[in-house]
Amino acid sequence: MADPGNQFHPEPGAESDMINAWEVLLREAHRPAPQPRRNIADTAWQCCRNATVAPHSQQDSTPAHQDQFSMRSEANRAKPAPLRALTNPEKHQGWAELVSANPAMLELVTRAQVLRNAHAPVLLHGETGVGKELFARGLHTGGPFVAINCGGLPRDLLASELFGYGDGAFTGARKGGMPGKIEAASGGTLFLDEIGEMPLEMQAHLLRVLEQKELYRVGETVPRNVTFRLVAATNRDLRQEAQAGRFRLDLFYRIAVFTLHIPPLRNRDGDISLLAHHFWHQFCREHALPSAGIDDAAMQALQAYSWPGNVRELRNVLESARLLSSGCTLMRDMLPPEIVRASHKGCEPALCNNVISMEQGERLLIQQAITACSGNLTLAAKKLNIAKSTLYFKMGRYGLSRRVL
């Protein structure tokens, strides 16, 4: 958002639902101001992309309007023709943080927006850190939004977290019982992240809830009616998981009425640069630090890196670089060593001069353990002599899945 003092105010009497948001953003972007303002226009343009639009006005074809388009940067010229603002922005807040100029990604957003009012379950598939929860929030239309990570809880706690428990269900249970996440999501959206981590016995209970629209709290015998929209997410191939006996095929068909495959950052041409500028200026504003953009060498290194942690990893790298540096420009030497090495020609990102970093060695060791244990994370954690929760944490950090390579 622009500074409060510099916000654009529409002419009195203009119909707010017909405002050409693109013109607003262009005026804001090209008003004499520091470079960060133009990146804000780029970001906001993505939030308006492929949404329900108001009819075009006659002003769109005027020479002055065309002159504004000719003033855009070279990167902006490659973008498709912009669309107008969402007719109901307050109902589309889930897309507010999505930043992308990649055609495949924008087409995916278009499909997702079509599915917003179709209350059938949606399965989001993509690597760790690609933004699956952003899509889940974009699909949310009203009522409570309840999210739970199926791989972030111990098996014995997952049942009570999902289904709740009754009075006296177990030692230490709260008097009167407690509703679970499914009940809390009734009338809204339940987002089950990493659903592929859910134990098989729990999958059977979830399937019954989806089919019968009722659940039993742990320790109770009276069913409770629930109605919610299910959005699930996974970084695994659930068909392969089902063939291997690790996921119920009937549940897969029930949750994957619609499937959206979110591409990894390395396959989204142009988005690394766009996101890097967006995050850099965002953190400069948040921490009241000066900003002069990103050095060409630093941008080359960012674009050469494979980003196994996707957008989440890029965001963390930019925030760390901003906080640890007193300079106003992001330089290459401010980036982590593994990213700097990725920009060296003739040198693989993970290996430079036959020496790898501790982080790269740890990532490789974890992946080898998972492969050797055929995706059994409990066994892999034992082989590595670490807690299973630690293994989950490191897998998330390095963008690893239990998929056997």
- For the domain made up of 103-261, give the CATH fold: Rossmann fold (3.40.50)
Contacts 24+ apart (CB under 8 A), 316-323: 318/276, 318/279, 318/280, 318/283, 319/279, 319/283, 322/280, 322/283, 322/284, 322/287, 322/289, 323/283, 323/287
What secondary structure letter does DSSP report for 333?
G
Q: Average pLDDT of the chain?
A: 76
Instruction: Please count the helices (runs of H) and the strands (runs of E) in the chain.
Output: 18, 7
The upper half-sphere exposure of residue 2, i.e. CA atoms within 13 Å in the direction of its Cβ, equals 23
- Split at pLDDT 50, 70, 90, the class of 358 is confident
CATH, domain range 268-342: 1.10.8.60
Considering only 234-238, 290-294, 344-348, which range has the smallest mean pLDDT? 344-348
Nearest in space to 339 (alpha carbons), one of 316, 370, 323: 316
Nearest-angstrom CA–CA distance, 102 and 49: 11
Burial of 77 (0-12, 13-18, 19+ CB in 10 A): exposed
pLDDT score at 397: 78
Q: Is the pLDDT of residue 31 over 70?
A: no
- Judge whether 195 and 237 are in contact, CB under 8 Å: no
* Candidate ranges 33-42, 136-145, 156-165, 381-390; pick with highest mean pLDDT: 136-145
Q: Is the pLDDT of residue 2 over 80?
A: no
- Split at pLDDT 50, 70, 90, the class of 108 is very high
- For the domain made up of 358-398, give the CATH fold: Arc Repressor Mutant, subunit A (1.10.10)
pTM over 0.95: no
Total residue length of the chain:
405
Considering only 284-293, 307-316, 345-354, which range has the smallest mean pLDDT? 345-354
* Candidate ranges 2-6, 275-279, 332-336, 340-344; pick with highest mean pLDDT: 275-279
Largest CA distance in the chain: 75
For the record, the structure tokens of 258 come out as 């619609």
- Measured CA to CA in angstroms, residue 399 lies from 98, 127, 275 at distances of 20, 7, 18
Query: What angle (nearest 5°) sits at the alpha carbon of residue 269, between those of residues 48 and 113?
Result: 30
When pLDDT is averaged across residues 48-69 and rounded to a whole number, the result is 38
pLDDT score at 403: 62
Name the residue ranges covered by the structural domains of the chain: 4-95, 103-261, 268-342, 358-398
Share of the chain above pLDDT 90, in %: 39
Nearest-angstrom CA–CA distance, 275 and 349: 20
Nearest-angstrom CA–CA distance, 259 and 252: 11
Nearest-angstrom CA–CA distance, 92 and 137: 9
Positive/negative CA dihedral, 338, 43, 288, 138: negative
Nearest-angstrom CA–CA distance, 245 and 24: 54
- Split at pLDDT 50, 70, 90, the class of 360 is confident
